[in-house]
Amino acid sequence: MSFEFPLLSLIIWLPIIFGIAVFATGNDRNAQLARSIALTGSILGILVAIPLYTSFDSSLATMQFVENHVWFERFNVNYHLGVDGISMPLILLNCFITPLVIVAGWQVIKTRVSQYMGAFLVMSGIVNGVFSSLDAILFYVFWEASLIPMFLIIGIWGGPNRVYAAIKFFLYTLLGSLLMLIAFIYLYQTSGGSFSIQDYHQLAIPMTPQILIFVAFLLAFAVKVPMWPVHTWLPDAHVEAPTGGSVVLAAILLKLGGYGFLRFSMPIAPDASHYLADMMILLSLVAVVYIGLIALMQADMKKLIAYSSVAHMGFVTLGFFLLNAYGIEGAMVQMISHGFISGAMFLCVGVLYDRLHSRQIADYGGVVNKMPTFAAFFMLFAMANAGLPGTSGFVGEFMVIMGTIKINFWYAFLAATTLIFGAAYTLWMYKRVIFGAVASPAVEELQDISKREFVLLAILAISVLWIGIYPFPLTEVMHATVDQLLAHVSISKL
Q: How far apart are CA 139 and CA 127, in angstroms?
A: 10
Nearest partner of 2 among 54, 37, 72, 43, judged by Cα: 54
List helix spans (H) across 105-192.
Answer: 113-132, 136-145, 147-157, 162-190
Is residue 163 within the footprint of another protein (CB under 8 A)? no
Per-residue contact flags (x/-) with another protein for residues 239 to 278, judged by CB under 8 A? ----------------------------------------
Exactly one of 20, 46, 179, 325 binds another protein (CB under 8 A); which one? 325
In this structure, what are the phi and psi dihedrals at residue 391, rounded to the nearest 5 degrees?
-115, 165
Is residue 74 within the footprint of another protein (CB under 8 A)? no
Q: How far apart are CA 20 and CA 122, in angstroms?
A: 8
Q: How far apart are CA 426 and CA 436, in angstroms?
A: 16
DSSP state of 226: T
Least Å from the CB of residue 357 to another protein: 24
CB 374 within 8 A of CB 366: no
Is residue 444 within the footprint of another protein (CB under 8 A)? no
Site for another protein in 332-361 (CB under 8 A): none
Nearer to another protein, 27 or 161 (CB): 161
Is residue 368 within the footprint of another protein (CB under 8 A)? yes
Nearer to another protein, 209 or 390 (CB): 390
One-letter amino acid identity for 55?
S
Nearer to another protein, 71 or 435 (CB): 435
Nearer to another protein, 33 or 388 (CB): 388
DSSP SS3 for 199: helix
Is residue 324 within the footprint of another protein (CB under 8 A)? yes
CB 352 within 8 A of CB 364: yes
Say whether the peptide bond before residue 229 is cis (omega within 30 degrees of 0).
yes
Least Å from the CB of residue 422 to another protein: 9
Nearer to another protein, 140 or 307 (CB): 307
Q: What is the C-alpha end-to-end distance of the chain, expressed in Å?
A: 38
Rounded (10°) CA dihedral 281, 87, 456, 298: 20
Number of chain positions touching another protein (CB under 8 A):
58
Least Å from the CB of residue 355 to another protein: 19
Nearer to another protein, 279 or 299 (CB): 299
Q: How far apart are CA 493 and CA 189, in angstroms?
A: 17
Is residue 472 within the footprint of another protein (CB under 8 A)? yes
Q: How far apart are CA 88 and CA 305, in angstroms?
A: 27
Least Å from the CB of residue 458 to another protein: 11
Exactly one of 431, 450, 455, 492 binds another protein (CB under 8 A); which one? 431
Is residue 366 within the footprint of another protein (CB under 8 A)? yes
CB 166 within 8 A of CB 241: no
Exactly one of 13, 275, 435, 454 binds another protein (CB under 8 A); which one? 435
Q: What is the longest distance spanned by two Cα atoms in the chain?
A: 70
Least Å from the CB of residue 302 to another protein: 15
Q: Identify the sign of the CA torsion 266, 270, 272, 274.
A: positive
List helix spans (H) across 297-417.
Answer: 301-320, 325-356, 367-370, 372-385, 392-407, 409-416
Least Å from the CB of residue 368 to another protein: 6
Exactly one of 436, 454, 459, 480 binds another protein (CB under 8 A); which one? 436
Nearer to another protein, 356 or 486 (CB): 486
Least Å from the CB of residue 474 to another protein: 9
Exactly one of 200, 290, 377, 381 binds another protein (CB under 8 A); which one? 290
Q: How far apart are CA 68 and CA 9, in angstroms?
A: 11
Stretch that binds another protein, among 138-146, 154-162, 275-283, 293-301 (CB under 8 A): 293-301
Nearer to another protein, 108 or 438 (CB): 438
Is residue 459 within the footprint of another protein (CB under 8 A)? no
Collect all residues with Cβ–Cβ distance below 8 Å to 354 and sequence separation of at least 6: 108, 243
Site for another protein in 369-428 (CB under 8 A): 369, 379, 383, 388-390, 394-395, 398-399, 401-406, 409-410, 412-413, 416-417, 419-420, 423-424, 427-428
Q: How far apart are CA 217 and CA 143, in angstroms?
A: 13
**Strand pairing category for 77-83 and 64-72:** antiparallel
Is residue 215 within the footprint of another protein (CB under 8 A)? no
CB 355 within 8 A of CB 112: no
Binding interface with another protein (CB under 8 A): 168, 172, 229, 232-233, 290, 293-298, 324-326, 329-330, 366, 368-369, 379, 383, 388-390, 394-395, 398-399, 401-406, 409-410, 412-413, 416-417, 419-420, 423-424, 427-428, 431, 434-437, 470-472, 475-476, 479
